[in-house]
C-alpha cells in the first residue's frame, strides 16, 4: 500500500491510501484449470456451462467491489470528505460538515484472530462512527499522520505529525 499526503493550502489536506494489490492474481489463474476440470468431468452439458458461468460471474463481482484507493480530504471550517474508489472506476463519497464532527479518533477493534487499528470520525446525531480507510486498513504509523493532520485542520490543534510525502 502507498500513502500520500497533499497539502493544497494552509487550510486543506488530502490523505490518499492506494492499494498495490495486483488486479489479476493467482485466484484468477486458478479459475481456468477449474473450468477445464469441470468440462472434463461433466462433459459439455448445460449444467457444466451454468457452473462455469456462475464461477466467472462471481469472480467478476468480487473484482467489481475491490477497493483500489481511499481518500480523506480535510478542509478547515468546512468539513471532511471521505472517498472510496473501486477497481472499475466507480467511487463513493461522503461529506461530513464541520459543525457535525464531534471528534476524530484512533480506535482498536479486537476480533478472535486480529487486532485492527482504525481511524474514525464521530458525527453528532449518528449512532455509528465513520471509519476512514476502512477497506485498506493502513498501519498505525500511517493512521497517526492522517490523524494528527486532520485534527490540526478541523480542531486548530498543533500539527506534530512530521508528514512524509510518500512511503510504502
SS3 content of the chain, % helix, strand, coil (to 5): 30, 40, 30
Nearest-5° Cα angle at 37, 88 to 49:
60
Region 134-138 average pLDDT: 90
How many CA atoms does the CB half-sphere of 21 hold within 13 Å? Answer: 16
**Taking 80 as the threshold, does the pLDDT of residue 100 lie above it?**
yes
Most confident of 62-66, 114-118, 155-159: 114-118
List residues bridging with 82 in a β-sheet. 72, 94
Q: By mean pLDDT, which of 1-15, 17-31, 65-79, 118-132 is the weakest?
A: 17-31
Q: Do both 145 and 73 map to the same domain?
A: yes
Parallel/antiparallel/unpaired status of strands 2-9 and 166-167: antiparallel
Q: Do both 15 and 70 map to the same domain?
A: yes
Taking the C-alpha atoms of residue 70 and residue 22, their distance in angstroms, rounded to an integer, is 16
Q: Do both 37 and 77 map to the same domain?
A: no
Q: Do both 7 and 50 map to the same domain?
A: no
Q: Do both 141 and 94 map to the same domain?
A: yes
Q: Do both 11 and 39 map to the same domain?
A: no
Domain count along the chain: 2
Q: Is 135 helix (H, G, I), strand (E, B) or coil?
A: coil
Region 78-90 average pLDDT: 92
C-alpha distances in Å from residue 91, one per residue of 3, 13, 65, 149 = 18, 20, 10, 24
Q: How confident is the model at residue 164 (pLDDT cuts 50, 70, 90)?
A: low
Domain that holds residue 110: 2-21+66-167
Taking the C-alpha atoms of residue 6 and residue 149, their distance in angstroms, rounded to an integer, is 11
Q: Do both 42 and 117 map to the same domain?
A: no
Q: Do both 47 and 124 map to the same domain?
A: no
**Taking 90 as the threshold, does the pLDDT of residue 107 lie above it?**
yes
Q: Do both 60 and 123 map to the same domain?
A: no
Q: Do both 81 and 13 map to the same domain?
A: yes
Q: Do both 42 and 100 map to the same domain?
A: no
Amino acid at each position: 500500500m502507498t500513502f500520500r499526503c497533499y497539502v493544497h493550502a494552509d487550510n486543506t489536506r488530502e490523505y490518499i491510501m492506494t492499494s498495490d494489490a495486483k488486479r489479476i492474481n493467482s485466484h484468477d489463474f486458478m479459475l481456468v484449470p477449474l473450468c477445464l476440470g469441470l468440462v472434463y468431468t461433466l462433459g459439455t452439458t448445460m449444467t457444466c456451462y451454468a457452473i462455469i458461468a456462475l464461477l466467472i460471474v462471481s469472480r467478476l463481482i468480487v473484482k467489481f467491489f475491490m477497493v483500489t484507493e481511499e481518500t480523506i480530504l480535510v478542509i478547515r471550517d468546512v468539513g471532511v470528505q471521505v472517498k472510496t474508489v473501486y477497481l472499475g472506476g466507480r467511487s463513493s463519497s461522503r461529506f461530513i460538515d464541520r459543525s457535525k464532527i464531534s471528534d476524530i479518533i484512533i480506535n482498536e477493534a479486537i476480533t478472535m484472530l486480529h487486532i485492527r487499528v482504525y481511524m474514525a470520525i464521530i458525527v453528532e446525531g449518528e449512532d455509528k462512527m465513520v471509519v476512514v480507510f476502512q477497506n485498506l486498513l493502513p498501519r498505525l504509523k500511517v493512521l497517526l499522520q492522517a490523524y494528527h493532520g486532520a485534527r490540526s485542520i478541523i480542531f486548530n490543534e498543533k500539527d506534530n505529525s512530521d508528514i512524509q510525502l510518500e512511503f510504502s
